[in-house]
Structure 1
Amino acid sequence: MALALGAEAVSAGYRVEVFDSIGSTNAEAMARARDGEAGPIWFVTTEQTAGRGRRQRPWIAPRGNLAASVLEVMDVAPGVAASLGFAAGLALQAALADLTAQSEIPLAIDYRLKWPNDVLAESQKLAGILLEAEAVADGRLAVVVGIGTNVVAAPSDTPYPATSLKALGLDVTAERLFAALSDHWASYRAIWDHGWGFAEIRRQWLQHAAGLGETVSIRSGASIVEGLFDSIDDTGCLIVRTPEGRQIPIAAGDVYFSATASAGAA
């Protein structure tokens, strides 16, 4: 089975370019945008050799995993574009839930969305999302959303425990996952609608949020904020309620929950 778009993604006008192996699907997507590609188009592979995640951390996809980046050029401000990452998390969570429900072996896997850009399975990192944006020649914004999912293997040297679908007992290929992901992306991208639908994206995201109401520790550089994970606001910032009752918006940082909060702050 080859990597291919789902039927809904095709109907929505998406295209796809498939690579046997590539350094980085995000880098390829942005390079194409600089050359005039406006999308919407996916760049996908089952082997990525030089990918990266947040804070320039390496994100390598060994053969059998899924690295997929979607490029869309749009008229939105960078701050609005950033909220599209929450739609990406919902799309992947929905695709994973569908495939789990279709499994021949009954499985009950808890998929959760970890602020700002991870998808967890049974409290372990299963996927990461990297959103990048850059102004292009016509003044519009080229937005690339990269989604890397551990299908058959997970790295062991991550700051947060990682897992794979195979380790969880879900027998699914990167090809099946991409078809489902592309369909759900088309649906959630339409809901997001250039940021106008973020209120609905936020509502659904919070229904699947990891650690909501729990103790969190957020590290950003040398700064550490601790408190309860209250919500996310209408810009996507994480809202932390401190022991003193203050509500602090966090725009970026590494999040550690409950039992791991003190370890993350150490």
Structure 2
Amino acid sequence: MTAFALGAKARAAGYRLRGFDAVGSTNCEALAAAASGDPGGIWFAALQQTAGRGRRGRQWSTPYGNLAATLLIIPDADASAAATLGFVAGVALNRALCQLLPETSIRIGVDGADGGGQSQGTRIALKWPNDVLADGAKLAGILLEAQKLDDGRHAIAIGCGVNALAAPDGLPYPATSLTELGTGRTAQQVFETLSDCWVEVFGLWADGRGTAQVLQYWREAAAGIGSPVAINQNGQIVRGIFETIDDTGRLIVRADNDARIAITAGDVHFGATASARS
């Protein structure tokens, strides 16, 4: 076992932790624990994943020294409310990384999304639906997976991957790491900060009753709101202006004819690169 530790707030809130040097997938570990009857409230954290996965079945590479962390929870909320936990994780991860990354001038990313969101002065921004950007390049990603339990409830595995030491090679999009951004923060330090930020934002969410407040915090940290956007939905391209996310977390695009289009899934590209990439 490697030297991961929970933050003080997470310990006080009763969270548990299993740390690994390397593991196949922290999400798989979490879902296996749920199937074995674990009540939830446990983190699985590793410095390397050998069989990690991302959104829509894609591979998620975790080179050694980066952070792969998954929280297993069994919320007292219906499925529609539980689906918004990705935004809870996004806000928590955004807060953690903002604390760890030095504040300097913001650079415009090659995808046309700067690091400021709507709150200027920070290099970190949230990209719909599940990425965290630094200076416009991908720094972290989030993956939610659900598993129905015998009693009818759903166990939720909330996976967070952060490029602490290095960004993976050969990606089709710009990526960066905390090392490249000029901070020597380790995966263990990122995890400890994240575990405390999670407690704060999850408390606001309050089994779905505080979803509106969490979504507002997400909007305030969002990349690309008010900018041109293209969304690739399995080869079908939707273009327009990224107007907002609605009260269920759908991306709202204003098309050229002023129609509002609600997007539930797809690959998002901003600015001038949207047409080229799509």
Judge same fold: TM > 0.5, yes or no: yes
> Where does residue 175 of structure 1 map in the other structure?
188
Q: 1:43-82 counterparts in 2 under 5 A? A: 43-82=44-83
TM-score (norm 1): 0.95
Alignment root-mean-square deviation, CA: 1.3
Which whole-Å CA distance do the structure 1 matches of 2:57 and 2:277 have between them? 19
Report the Cα offset of residue 195 of structure 1: 1.3
Matched, 1:16 2:17: yes
> Where does residue 222 of structure 1 map in the other structure?
235
1:69-119 deviation line (CA, Å, top 9, x unaligned): 000012323222111111111111111111225xxxx74561000000000
* 8 A contact 1:81–1:133 mirrored in 2: no
> Where does residue 276 of structure 2 map in the other structure?
263
> Where does residue 247 of structure 1 map in the other structure?
260
Of 157, 182, 192, the match for 2:205: 192
After superposition, the Cα gap between the structure-2 partners of 1:264 and 1:77, relative to the gap in structure 1 and judged at 3 Å, is farther
Q: Flag structure 2 segments of 5+ consecutive residues without an equivalent.
A: 106-121
> Where does residue 212 of structure 1 map in the other structure?
225
Q: Percent identity?
A: 52
Higher strand share: 1
Report the Cα offset of residue 160 of structure 1: 1.9
Q: Which amino acid aligns with 1:69?
A: T
Which whole-Å CA distance do the structure 2 matches of 1:207 and 1:64 have between them? 30
Q: 1:85-104 counterparts in 2 under 5 A? A: 85-101=86-102
* 8 A contact 2:24–2:50 mirrored in 1: yes
> Where does residue 111 of structure 2 map in the other structure?
none
Which whole-Å CA distance do the structure 2 matches of 1:116 and 1:88 have between them? 11
> Where does residue 26 of structure 1 map in the other structure?
27
Which whole-Å CA distance do the structure 1 matches of 2:174 and 2:97 have between them? 19
Q: Which amino acid aligns with 1:75?
A: D
Which whole-Å CA distance do the structure 1 matches of 2:49 and 2:146 have between them? 21
Q: Which amino acid aligns with 2:186?
A: T
Of 139, 142, 152, the match for 1:129: 142
Which whole-Å CA distance do the structure 2 matches of 1:168 and 1:197 have between them? 33
> Where does residue 115 of structure 2 map in the other structure?
none
> Where does residue 162 of structure 1 map in the other structure?
175
> Where does residue 149 of structure 1 map in the other structure?
162
Bigger Cα displacement from structure 2, 129-138 vs 155-164 = 155-164
Q: Which amino acid aligns with 2:205?
A: W
Report the Cα offset of residue 46 of structure 1: 0.7
Which whole-Å CA distance do the structure 1 matches of 2:78 and 2:277 have between them? 33
Which whole-Å CA distance do the structure 2 matches of 1:66 and 1:172 have between them? 11
SS of the aligned residue for 2:272 comes to: helix
Q: Which amino acid aligns with 2:182?
A: G
Aligned residues: 261
Q: Which amino acid aligns with 1:76?
A: A
Which whole-Å CA distance do the structure 2 matches of 1:117 and 1:193 have between them? 21
1:163-205 deviation line (CA, Å, top 9, x unaligned): 1110111110111110000000011111111111111111111
Q: Flag structure 1 segments of 5+ consecutive residues without an equivalent.
A: none
TM-score (norm 2): 0.91
> Where does residue 109 of structure 2 map in the other structure?
none
Which whole-Å CA distance do the structure 2 matches of 1:259 and 1:136 have between them? 45
Which whole-Å CA distance do the structure 2 matches of 1:130 and 1:145 have between them? 6
Q: Which amino acid aligns with 1:3?
A: F
1:28-72 deviation line (CA, Å, top 9, x unaligned): 100110111121000000111110001111112111100000000
Bigger Cα displacement from structure 2, 88-97 vs 114-123 = 88-97
Which whole-Å CA distance do the structure 1 matches of 2:39 and 2:171 have between them? 34
SS of the aligned residue for 1:201 comes to: helix
Which whole-Å CA distance do the structure 2 matches of 1:90 and 1:115 have between them? 12
